[in-house]
């Protein structure tokens, strides 16, 4: 145990630096996934059939390809086509795109839970389609979707570890390099587990809070 505490003090600066990158990657990918998720939902509900077809195709294709393969494609294949992205940006794009299809389903489910009576009331008041969506459907739909979106956020935090495969110096990558250079596999990976747990617990608590509030409303 004394040795583990000594390793903790020794490895903490490196692992905390990696944890910071993990959190930055999570926040950026989460923001992108929410924006793209809204885009897929809007296209999926559009009156133009080609837009609905594009949305369904994107969701089906992205959902069917492992995240690691998407990251490899963005980081290793796109440069062959003239688009050379830095590792962090490639990770944000890959994770954001991968999770956008799940956020789209979360948002779509939230919109489906909106009371039809409220929609009819808005129509009775003379609200146009855009106004009705902006003031009634979308705000209430996002509120219903918050618990599911929170769960996706926790999953995204853990899946940032996949970004270590494209050389992003996030928590898992830093841990791997430490384990290789020090041969302290037990200490390093125990600290990795504890840091991921410490980062995910506040998010899990937030999800539970959102679920409680959702049941009260």
Q: What band does 149 get if pLDDT is binned at 50, 70 and 90?
A: confident
pLDDT for res 214: 59
pLDDT exceeds 60 at position 33: yes
End-to-end Cα distance, the chain: 48
Kindly indicate the confidence band of residue 3, based on its pLDDT and cuts at 50, 70 and 90.
confident
Supply the pTM of this predicted model. 0.89
Confidence tier at 1 by pLDDT (50, 70, 90): low
What would the pLDDT profile of 174-184 be if each residue is shown by its tens digit?
999 999 998 88
The HSE-up count of residue 18 (CA atoms within 13 Å, CB side) is 25
Give me the residue label for tokens 């959702």: 214
**110 and 144 Cβ atoms separated by less than 8 Å:** yes
- Who wins on pLDDT, 25 or 140? 25
pLDDT at 196 over 80: yes
Residue 215 confidence (pLDDT): 57
Q: How far is CA 179 from CA 24, 130, 173, 174, 188, in A?
A: 23, 55, 10, 9, 6
- What CATH number has the domain bearing residue 125? 1.10.3720.10
Query: What stretches of the chain adopt beta strand conformation (E)?
Result: none
Read off the pLDDT band of 211 (50, 70, 90).
low
User: What is the number of domains present in the chain?
Assistant: 1
> For 51, phi and psi rounded to 5 degrees?
-65, -40
| Burial category of 128 from C-beta neighbours within 10 Å (exposed 0-12, middle 13-18, buried 19 and up) | exposed
* Nearest of 93, 110, 113 to residue 36 by alpha carbon: 93
In degrees rounded to 5, what are phi and psi of residue 170?
-90, -170
* Mean model confidence pLDDT for the chain: 88
- pLDDT bin (cut points 50, 70, 90) of residue 39 is very high
Q: Is 211 exposed, middle or buried (0-12, 13-18, 19+ CB in 10 A)?
A: middle
| Host domain of residue 159 | 2-216
């Amino acid at each position: 145990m004394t040795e583990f505490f000594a390793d903790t003090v020794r490895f903490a600066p490196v692992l905390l630096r990696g944890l910071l990158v993990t959190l930055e990657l999570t926040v950026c990918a989460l923001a992108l996934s929410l924006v793209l998720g809204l885009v897929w939902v809007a296209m999926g509900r559009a009156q133009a059939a080609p837009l609905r077809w594009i949305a369904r195709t994107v969701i089906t294709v992205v959902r069917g390809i492992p995240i690691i393969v998407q990251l490899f494609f963005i980081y290793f294949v796109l440069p062959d086509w003239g688009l050379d992205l830095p590792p962090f940006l490639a990770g944000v794009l890959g994770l954001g795109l991968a999770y956008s299809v799940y956020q789209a389903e979360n948002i779509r489910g939230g919109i489906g839970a909106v009371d039809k009576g409220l929609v009819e009331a808005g129509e009775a008041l003379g609200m146009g389609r855009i106004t009705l969506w902006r003031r009634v459907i979308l705000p209430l739909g996002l509120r219903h979707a918050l618990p599911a979106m929170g769960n996706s956020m926790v999953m995204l935090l853990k899946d940032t570890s996949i970004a270590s495969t494209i050389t992003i110096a996030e928590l898992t990558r830093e841990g791997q390099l430490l384990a290789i250079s020090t041969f302290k596999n037990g200490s390093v990976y125990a600290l990795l587990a504890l840091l991921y747990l410490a980062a995910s617990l506040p998010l899990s608590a937030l999800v539970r809070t959102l679920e409680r509030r959702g049941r009260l409303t």
